[in-house]
Amino acid sequence: MQAYITSSIPYVNAPPHIGHALELVQADAIARYQRLAGNATILQTGTDENAFKNVLAARAQGVSVQALVDRNSQRFHELTQALAIAADTFIRTTESRHRHGVAAFWRRLRSEDIFKQQYTGLYCTGCEDFLLERDLVQGTCPEHLAEPETVAEENYFFRLSSYQAVLEEAIRGGRIKIVPETRKNEVLSFIRSGLQDISVSRDTSRMAGWGIPVPGDSSQTIYVWIDALINYITGQGFGSGEAWRRVWNTETKKIHVIGKNVWKFHAVYWPALLLSAGLPLPDEIVVHGFLTVEGAKISKSLANVIDPFACIEPFGAEAVRYSLLTLSPFADGDYSQRYLRQRYQADLANGIGNLATRLTALCQKARLNGLQPAAAPEPPLDFARHMGGHRFDRALRAFWTPATAVNQGIERERPWEQIQSAQTAQSLREWVHSLWVIAYWMQPFMPTTGAKILHGLHQPHITRLPPLFPRLETG
């Protein structure tokens, strides 16, 4: 099987925050797990750069829009590197390959699905979307807490209403799997409430000339969310040859990892657009919750934005990856450097790190030969089921049963007292096998740590591993 995993692409009106890191490590964990399972896998991420909010941010900072998106896109790219995200493609929506692909996609849409009309609506710049009165809370956008602007202009529209029945059947019947089930039900409820045709362009003058023009009509700019969604195929070459077909086809398992605030675009708009263009649908949409700080949503106005680089610097990428993946993947999760420190000390320094150093030190004293495995180990009990459901938190907990058993065995048998005995050698081999299993299947979460342990266990003679997670200074 081949798998194609994508994260959503974030706006670049501001540098990345810890919530962006969460989605990256989730998508990366899925991709790395697929590769370990023997599946050819492609992981794509990138940045969404054609939003009007980028124009506003550039004006506020007194820089050109291109300078702003170049600077912030670079920071997102640096974050993928700092977190060891094994991405095969990093797509920027200002790239020519994307612009050409978007134009080709627009031309591929069924002509009867696109029409032009005058429209007046409530537009939220934060959402980059028109809202209905029923979406508002006391007259404001519930996510951005701002009153939307009344906009009246002539736009192109897409006949989303024509796809209501087929979308409902695709999601209800599992042709498009939405995880978790609560989000699937939310999407179905939205569809059953009645789909309205959607605006898919903006007046070019209002966009200050920023964005991708509608083919054949330079007075209109393609709506940023339509343009952004198409990155999932332009990043693989759509619009310039046929190479993209090797990835975006009915045989490849196509998984989108997204935040809960953008499911409407990915689970409703995107499939409808693909159907209109005669292209395959995504297979699965994994919807994660938000990170909060002391129960509050991360927000610049609340001054509680967590810089992921400020977490990586003192604790390391492996600890940041691990701590994010221990949170419930689908619910909102509270995160802070205090939580990161707790997980580092309890689970990593005193947990797997201590076990690896302690066990390999005993193996060195016993002069135990290293492992020379002919095949990959079977995963811990329930691990594959949890990973199949994208329950990273539960998959990580599956490691603690064998790890605890090894620690208890060491305490019970006290191997250092008879380090050269045959019984000690047998016990050490069993414990090393358990550590091997843990290290191998740990790699989707902590690739460097897993690889270090495996390297140590695969030597001709096992020697003591240095501390994988040095204990932190208190304070």
Residues 293-308 have pLDDT tens digits of 888 888 766 778 999 9
pLDDT of residue 300: 65
- Whether residue 437 is contained in a domain is answered as yes
pLDDT of residue 148: 81
- Whether residue 435 is contained in a domain is answered as yes
- Whether residue 375 is contained in a domain is answered as yes
Contact status, residue 433 vs residue 458, Cβ threshold 8 Å: no
What is the b/e burial string over 396-406, where b = at least 16 CB atoms within 10 angstroms of the residue's CB? Answer: bebbeebbeeb
pLDDT of residue 116: 96
pLDDT of residue 324: 99
- Whether residue 166 is contained in a domain is answered as no
What is the bridge-based pairing of β-strands 253-259 and 284-288?
parallel
446-452 LR contacts (CB < 8 Å, sep 24+): 446/318, 446/321, 446/322, 447/32, 447/84, 447/86, 447/318, 448/84, 448/317, 448/318, 449/318, 449/352, 449/353
Q: What is the DSSP letter of 268?
A: I
Measured between alpha carbons, how far is 179 from 288 in angstroms, rounded to an integer? 9
Q: Which amino acid is at 233?
A: I
The per-residue pLDDT for range 354-364, each reduced to its tens digit, is 999 999 999 99
| Strand, coil or helix: 369 | strand
The domain that holds 393 is classified in CATH as 1.10.730.10
- The tokens for 238 are 């759509």
What sign for the dihedral angle of Cα 23, 24, 28, 29?
Answer: negative
Task: Establish whether 141 is a catalytic residue.
Answer: yes
- Whether residue 428 is contained in a domain is answered as yes
pLDDT of residue 194: 97
- Whether residue 391 is contained in a domain is answered as yes
Task: Establish whether 17 is a catalytic residue.
Answer: yes
Residues 6+ apart with CB under 8 A from 405: 434
Measured between alpha carbons, how far is 456 from 451 in angstroms, rounded to an integer? 9
Q: What is the DSSP letter of 195?
A: P
Tally of structural domains, the chain: 1
Write out the residue range of the structural domain in which residue 406 sits.
Answer: 351-457
Q: Which residue of the set 53, 100, 253, 297 is catalytic?
A: 297
- The tokens for 411 are 């305490």
Chunked mean pLDDT (size 10), the chain, 475 residues: 97 95 99 97 98 94 97 99 99 98 98 92 74 74 78 92 99 98 98 97 92 97 97 98 96 98 98 99 98 82 87 98 98 96 97 97 97 92 95 96 95 95 96 98 98 98 97 73
Task: Establish whether 433 is a catalytic residue.
Answer: no
- Whether residue 399 is contained in a domain is answered as yes
Measured between alpha carbons, how far is 218 from 273 in angstroms, rounded to an integer? 21
Task: Establish whether 363 is a catalytic residue.
Answer: no
Residues 6+ apart with CB under 8 A from 216: none
Q: Which amino acid is at 409?
A: G
Query: Could you identify the residue written with the tokens 């569809």?
Result: 191
Torsion of CA 228, 232, 237, 240, to 10 degrees: -40
Task: Establish whether 127 is a catalytic residue.
Answer: yes
Q: Which residue of the set 141, 184, 256, 288 is catalytic?
A: 141
pTM for the structure as a whole: 0.94
Q: Which residue of the set 98, 127, 288, 363 is catalytic?
A: 127
Q: Which residue of the set 77, 124, 256, 311 is catalytic?
A: 124
Residue 100: other Cβ atoms inside 10 A: 15
- Whether residue 466 is contained in a domain is answered as no
Q: Which residue of the set 144, 260, 365, 433 is catalytic?
A: 144
